[in-house]
Structures are given as C-alpha cells and as structure tokens.
Amino acid sequence: VKSGRNPNETSDSRLSRNGLVVLYTGEGKGKTTAALGLALRACGHGRRVLMVCFMKGNFRVGEIRAVENLPGFTLVLSGRSEFVDKRDPDPRDIHIAREGLKQAGEAVEKGNIDLLILDEAHVALDYGLLDLQDILNLIEIKPPEMDLILTGRNAPVELVKRADLVSEVLNIKHPFQKGIPAQAGIDF
C-alpha cells in the first residue's frame, strides 16, 4: 500500500466521517464497476484506497493499468486466471484468497487505508475460499472512519444484516444472452 497522504485530499474528506459497510450483490452486471466508481470518488477526496480482487488473476482488466496513475489507489489481484471448482477448490485458490485477505487485514490494522474494497468477497465465501468469521472480524477491527465495500453475487445474510448499505443489481438483460462476447472497457 502506497504510504503517505494523497495530494488530492480535500477538506471535505476528513469531516465527520461515518465509515460505512457497503454491499453490492445480485445477478446483474455492475457490482465491481460500482465499487470502482466509489473508489474513483474517494480518490478525488484524497482517500487512500486498497482494492483486493478475489478469484481474479487476469492482468488484462482495464482497472489494473488505470490505477497505476491514480495516487493513493492500490489494486491487488488475489486469484489465479483458472476457474475455481466450487465443489473442490484447489488449495492454491484457497491460499491466494487468504493471502489477499491477510494483506487487507494488515493494511487495516496499520491504518494505511480509508477505503477497502473486497471484490468478489461474497463469491469467495460461497466457494469456501474465505471464512465468514474473518470478514466479520475485519468489520469489527476497522477504524470507524474507514469505508468497506464488498461485492459479488449471493451476499451472505450475516453480512447483509451487518452492512449499512446494500444494493442488489438485477439482471434485466445482458449482451451475453444474445451471444455478444466480453468487451474491453465494458467487461474487463
């Protein structure tokens, strides 16, 4: 995590901070991009952002290159490019997901970040890569002014109860349904 404050820090950014736990879930497209939108907004206020992307190891995603030029934004891909087998996840998938969560926990404990995004955390929980208790502990230890965003389908009810803001994205239609493949800049 890049150290020091962000040169963009605005006077608004430290006023009466009420750190929120935000969940983006549902079957529709837009959960990860909603989290990236808030990260961009936070960066504009000089808030330091750490985004850990579980189950993603694909360096083609546009955001990985875009954030290189954004002060205060650190993005970590905490997955492999292979698909994870839900019935029998590879020990390497479990290991890399736990390492990502550990890195996030250390940054939270050090007070190095203002916004933590755990992208696809709900899916990593659903696939047995992460433990719910570890996420609940992170929520407990986080500084009150720090924001935490979790994304992914099938948010567990325990997190929905604990969160301050929960938005569910509905799938009305998606180009994939008519055979249009993933598009650079829209899907990755």
Rounded distance between C-alpha atoms, residue 15 and residue 134, angstroms: 30
In angstroms, what is the minimal distance from the CB of 166 to Mg ion? 16
Draw the binding track, 151-180, toward ligand ATP (x: CB under 6 A; -: no contact): x-x---------------x-x--x-x----
Find out whether 25 and 168 touch, Cβ atoms under 8 Å.
Answer: yes
57 binds ligand ATP (CB under 6 A): no
DSSP characters for 69-118?
A: GSTTEEEEEES-SSPP-SSS--HHHHHHHHHHHHHHHHHHHHT--SEEEE
Q: Which of 1, 8, 20, 28 binds ligand ATP (CB under 6 A)?
A: 28
Residues lying near Mg ion in the complex (CB under 5 A): 31-32
Residue at token pair 């948010």: 155
Tokens representing 149? Answer: 């965003």
Q: 31 vs 142, which CB is nearer to Mg ion?
A: 31
Tokens representing 68? Answer: 């290189």
Q: 108 vs 149, which CB is nearer to ligand ATP?
A: 149
**Which does residue 164 bind out of Mg ion, ligand ATP, none, counting CB within 5 to 8 angstroms by kind?**
none
Identify which of 87, 88, 116 has the alpha carbon closest to the alpha carbon of residue 101: 116
**Which does residue 74 bind out of ligand ATP, Mg ion, none, counting CB within 5 to 8 angstroms by kind?**
none
Interface contacts to ligand ATP, rule CB under 6 A: 27-33, 151, 153, 169, 171, 174, 176, 182, 187-188
